[in-house]
Amino acid sequence: MDLDSFLVSLYVLVDDWWKLHRSSESPKIGRPALLSDPEVLTLAILAQWPRFRSERDFWRFASSHLRPYFPALCSQSQLKVGASEPWSPSCASCSGPSPESSSSLRPSIG
């Protein structure tokens, strides 16, 4: 399976799962996110692929190759905030750090 097909299949699975388990939640308060929670989860899962030697390696790849799929792709640091706890009501999901989400910041591994 090529990367494009894998990425689309992964996103569809994550989005369907998210809608099934999170559809009853109320909308988040604050600035609207640039990426949806399923998009953040998809990127976080894809980053675990052994092809990427580090988080930075994945970010370079995503920034240069995945923009057609994620046109609102944010900076690496903003993505880390959203990916740290996307299920949490304090998740920034690429809307940038805020006082409410600063407690969910974690040091990166790798």
Tens-digit pLDDT profile for residues 21-66: 886 777 777 777 788 889 989 998 998 888 888 888 988 898 889 9
- The whole-number pLDDT of residue 15 equals 94
Distance, in Å, from the CA atom of 86 to the CA atom of 90, rounded to the nearest integer, reads 8
Q: Please give the tally of structural domains in the chain.
A: 1
* Contact present, 92 and 33 (Cβ < 8 Å): yes
Distance, in Å, from the CA atom of 41 to the CA atom of 10, rounded to the nearest integer, reads 10
Residue 110 lies in a domain: no
Residue 40 lies in a domain: yes
**1: confidence class by pLDDT, cuts 50, 70, 90:** confident
Q: How many CB atoms lie within 10 A of CB 40?
A: 27
Residue 13 lies in a domain: yes
- The whole-number pLDDT of residue 42 equals 92
* Residue 72 burial class via C-beta count within 10 angstroms: exposed 0-12, middle 13-18, buried 19 and up: exposed
SS3 (DSSP) at 3: helix
Residue 19 lies in a domain: yes
Domain span including residue 12: 3-23+30-104
Tens-digit pLDDT profile for residues 70-103: 888 876 666 555 555 444 433 444 444 333 333 3
Distance, in Å, from the CA atom of 98 to the CA atom of 110, rounded to the nearest integer, reads 25
DSSP conformational letter for 56: H
Look up the pTM and report it.
0.64
